[in-house]
Amino acid sequence: MASVTLENVSKSYPSRKGAVCAVRGFNLDIRDGEFVVLVGPSGCGKTTTLRMIAGLEEISGGVIRIGGRVVNDVQPKDRDVAMVFQNYALYPHMTVYDNLAFALKIRRMPKADIRARVHEVAEMLHIAGLLDRRPKDLSGGERQRVAVGRAIVRRPSVFLFDEPLSNLDARLRLHTRTELKALHQRLGTTCIYVTHDQEEAMTLGERLVLMRDGVIQQSGPPMELYTRPVNRFAASFIGSPGMNFLQATREDGRWRLTAGGTWRRDPEPSSEAALVEVELAFRPEHVRLQGDGGTPARANHGALCFSGNVTVVEPLGETMNVHIALSSGESVIARVPPISSASPGSPVTASVEGERVHIFDDRGDGARR
């Protein structure tokens, strides 16, 4: 097992219009045995970062260390990392056994040891019955296991996963996700896992590293990103359904909502004094609908209140999503108990406790003040 450190790592690709900067100023310390997830929208530099760690992509600047050793100029095969890709790239002409054994044969491991290792890994991944088959005779999920098995069998210091579940159907994806987490708990090997799926990231990672345009936006435990997003991008990316955003402008020491109504945070942070236009943001589960039982948060107790019309109601069993259209043209999703009486077309008044409301400056980088 090993720690992985990236120090001011950057990567630019040459292009006709000058260089494309895929990753910039990337700093990250990954603990020995940690499960870190790089998450962000397509094109934000996740794969590039992973390939630089694997040594498959030369870095343009900075330093990468694995287990304390600088690996900038170390060949991929000598980095003691194993990578699992989105397209499993199994050897089609080889049996599952030979696919698993391949890397060990190349390392000239004795036959009996190879046998023992392959069988151990096959048991662990529930593919012991498939060892004689070829990849074309496997289901997507089975192929995916073989690909993971090929990485595990080498007992590397670091696992690198690049969207390994994206080719599986939804149900299998959830199942395999749980298995990967259990596998990490069992093996304790450092994992760096890439996904664009925020839910996969939240459920798997001990730590998330949220990227955008090649730059780290926020890094921390999943619940920290969920409860304390550092900017609008982080707020909008993590969570499903996503954070609600309402436009507001400053007026007489209060925020006046474009959708009507005012809100005052109490006590009001003085740093907000300079802001004129902001977005007030809050999670769907923090919206309460009047008339749904419980005590609705009251405006004079620091809550944010607004009214609108219910457009769509989506029952989800435990909860339901109520979509509300506001007079400003904005919309809000409330995630409420299934006993809610909200029905399409009916007017509704909603409230959010003041401390659940985030304020984002909607100018420039959208950084939170």
CB of 48 to ligand ADP, least distance (A): 3
Q: Name the one residue in this structure whose structure tokens are 């977005």.
A: 279
Q: Does 164 bind ligand ADP (CB under 6 A)?
A: no
CB of 212 to ligand ADP, least distance (A): 10
Local structure of 336: helix, strand or coil: strand
Build a one-symbol-per-residue string for 322-341: x at contacts with ligand ADP by CB under 6 A, - elsewhere: --------------------
**Residue 85 or 102 with smaller CB distance to Mg ion:** 85
**Residue 47 or 144 with smaller CB distance to Mg ion:** 47
Q: Is the dihedral of CA 290, 296, 300, 306 positive or negative?
A: negative
Q: Name the one residue in this structure whose structure tokens are 């070829």.
A: 134
Q: Which entry of Mg ion, ligand ADP, none binds 45, CB below 5 to 8 A by partner kind?
A: ligand ADP
**Residue 10 or 47 with smaller CB distance to Mg ion:** 47
- Of these, 13, 166, 188, 338, which contacts ligand ADP (CB under 6 A)? 13
**Residue 47 or 99 with smaller CB distance to Mg ion:** 47
**Residue 18 or 329 with smaller CB distance to ligand ADP:** 18
CA 265, chain centre distance (Å): 31
Question: Residue 144: which of 115, 175, 118, 117 has the closest Cα?
Answer: 175
Alpha-carbon span 331 to 337, nearest angstrom: 19
Both tokens of residue 5? 């450190």
Q: Which entry of Mg ion, ligand ADP, none binds 48, CB below 5 to 8 A by partner kind?
A: ligand ADP
- Of these, 10, 35, 48, 243, which contacts ligand ADP (CB under 6 A)? 48
Q: Which entry of Mg ion, ligand ADP, none binds 270, CB below 5 to 8 A by partner kind?
A: none
What value does the CA radius of gyration of the chain take, rounded to a whole number of Å? 25
Identify whether the C-beta of residue 11 lies closer than 8 Å to the C-beta of residue 48. Answer: yes
Q: Does 44 bind ligand ADP (CB under 6 A)?
A: yes
Vertex 249: Cα angle to 247 and 252 (nearest 5): 150
Site stretch for Mg ion (CB under 5 A), options 45-53, 99-107, 260-268, 309-317 = 45-53
* Cα separation values, 327 from 167, 274, 279, 348, Å: 42, 27, 16, 12
Phi-psi domain of 155 (left: phi exceeds 0; alpha: psi -120 through 50; beta: other): left
CB of 46 to ligand ADP, least distance (A): 3
Q: Does 185 bind ligand ADP (CB under 6 A)?
A: no
Provide the strand spans (E) within the chain. Answer: 4-13, 20-30, 35-39, 61-66, 69-70, 81-84, 158-162, 190-195, 207-212, 215-220, 244-251, 254-257, 262-263, 277-282, 288-289, 304-315, 320-325, 331-336, 347-352, 358-361
Question: Residue 350: which of 278, 287, 275 has the closest Cα?
Answer: 287
Site stretch for ligand ADP (CB under 6 A), options 42-50, 175-183, 303-311, 360-368 = 42-50
CB of 143 to ligand ADP, least distance (A): 21
Q: How many of the chain's residues bind ligand ADP (CB under 6 A)?
A: 11
- Of these, 4, 35, 46, 352, which contacts ligand ADP (CB under 6 A)? 46
Q: Does 217 bind ligand ADP (CB under 6 A)?
A: no
Q: Does 89 bind ligand ADP (CB under 6 A)?
A: no
Question: Residue 147: which of 129, 127, 132 has the closest Cα?
Answer: 127
**Residue 13 or 91 with smaller CB distance to ligand ADP:** 13
Q: Does 47 bind Mg ion (CB under 5 A)?
A: yes
What secondary structure letter does DSSP report for 268?
A: P
**Secondary structure element (H or E) that encloses residue 223, with its range:** helix 222-227
**Residue 13 or 111 with smaller CB distance to Mg ion:** 13
Q: Does 42 bind ligand ADP (CB under 6 A)?
A: yes
Site stretch for ligand ADP (CB under 6 A), options 29-37, 40-48, 143-151, 244-252 = 40-48
| Residues near ligand ADP, by CB under 6 A | 13, 20, 22, 40, 42-48
| Residues near Mg ion, by CB under 5 A | 47
